[in-house]
A = this chain, B = another copy of it.
Amino acid sequence: MASRVALVRLRGEDALLSWLRGRLDRPLIGDDAAVLPRPGPFAVTVDSQIAGVHFPADLDSAAVARRLLAVNLSDLAAMGAEPAFAFLALAAPPGFDHKRFFRALLAACARYRLRLAGGDLATSPAAGAIATMTLLGTKAAKARWLRRGGAEPGHVLWLGGTVGESAAGRLLIGGGARLAGRRIELPALPSAWSHSPGLAAAARRAVRRHLLPAPQLELGRWLGGAGAGGAIDVSDGLSRDLHRLCRESSAGAEVSAEALPLPERFAPLCAGLGVDPRELALSGGEDYVLLFTLPPGVTPAPRFACHRIGTITRGKRILLRRGGRRDDLPALGWDHLG
């Protein structure tokens, strides 16, 4: 009970909420619950971001807000949903810059036409912040929700972007890379890299991609109207999330290792980090690109930069084709209770 302070006068919390309501257009905050002014149907998702688990404990509170929103929006993207309402539960340690956090959150909400409609504030029992966001998304009348269970044998398997880069960024952060203002600092570069501006740039892109992922809402919207089969966002690792997609669809898959889209200069970056690029691509996680299936002949527009990586098959086996060989692809990736 230590971090609650009894018998205080109206101050921090109500003052902050009052400041926040002043920045909201037609605020929904102020009652015990928010009455949503728009009818459903709704798709609802919840995701947490925890300092020291999902992001470095010293990360700028504005970046925490953006990352929190992005990973949740990625779930709505995977449903083909339009962002509608956001609810925040934030437990922050003393000294946390709430106003900076909320300014960044509100700016990002505005960009995605999302209304912050309520939440809960508390003191963190840990050294860093713990933030949970609930998002409600709607869909256009004629669109369908995207589901994990919609993949069918014969469908082509697609990826909405490169994989592995976020995990490389996480490794770089573990080695001392950090966000300083808008710049990425790389204090502990392997000496070979300092002679290669291209590699340093690739490292900075990886760190940025990890800290500030870009949810593929426009792609999800397009897929919802284009007759996509199954869809999931790659958060826990490509192979693990592919297993989930296939399990929900009662189908198998065959993925081509050579077809996996890797970021520019990814191989030398991984060499510098001492990791296998293909392994990072298959199991690194937090890529926040959509993994989806389409009937043969349906192709996403070039602006989406999607990559064909395999096919959906009958049966339950999930295979990785490499050279002439085909091996079982295990469900490698993050286990949040691991």
A89 contacts which chain B residues (CB < 8 A)?
46-48, 89, 132
Minimum distance in angstroms from A170 CB to a CB of chain B: 6
Q: Does A6 contact B (CB under 8 A)?
A: yes
* Interface residue total, chain A, C-beta cutoff 8 A: 97
CA distance A160 to B135 in the complex (A): 32
A4 in the interface (beta carbon within 8 A): yes
Q: Which residues of B contact A231 (CB under 8 A)?
A: 32
User: Would you call A268 an interface residue if the criterion is a C-beta within 8 Å of the partner chain's C-beta atoms?
Assistant: no
Which residues of A in the span 113-159 have a Cβ within 8 Å of any Cβ on B?
A: 117-128, 130, 132, 134-137, 145, 147-149
- Which residue of chain B has its CB nearest to the CB of A147? B31
Q: What CA separation (Å) do A173 and B1 show in the bound complex?
A: 9
CB-defined contacts of A81 to chain B, threshold 8 Å: 33
Measured in the bound complex, the distance between the Cα atoms of B46 and A177 in whole Å is: 35
| Residues of B close to A12: CB separation below 8 A | 335-338
A216 → chain B closest CB, angstroms: 12
A45 within 8 A of B: yes
Q: Could you say how many copies of this chain the assembly holds?
A: 2
| Chain A contact surface mostly | mixed
Write out, one digit per residue, whether chain A residues 34-59 have a CB within 8 A of any chain B CB (1) or not (0).
11101111111111101111101000
**Chain B CB within 8 A of A243 CB:** yes
**Other-chain contact of A3, B52, B121, B240, B244 (Cβ < 8 Å):** B52
The distance from the CB of A14 to the nearest CB of chain B, in whole angstroms, is: 8
User: Given A51-B125, A125-B130, A248-B30, are A46 and B336 neighbors across the interface (CB < 8 Å)?
Assistant: no
Chain A residues in the interface with B (C-beta under 8 A): 1-14, 16, 30-36, 38-48, 50-54, 56, 74-76, 78-79, 81, 85, 87-89, 91-92, 98, 117-128, 130, 132, 134-137, 145, 147-149, 170, 173-174, 231-233, 240, 243-244, 248, 279, 283-285, 330-338
11 inter-chain pairs at a CB distance below 8 angstroms, sorted by A residue, are: A2-B53, A13-B336, A13-B337, A32-B75, A32-B78, A32-B148, A33-B43, A40-B42, A44-B87, A120-B132, A126-B126
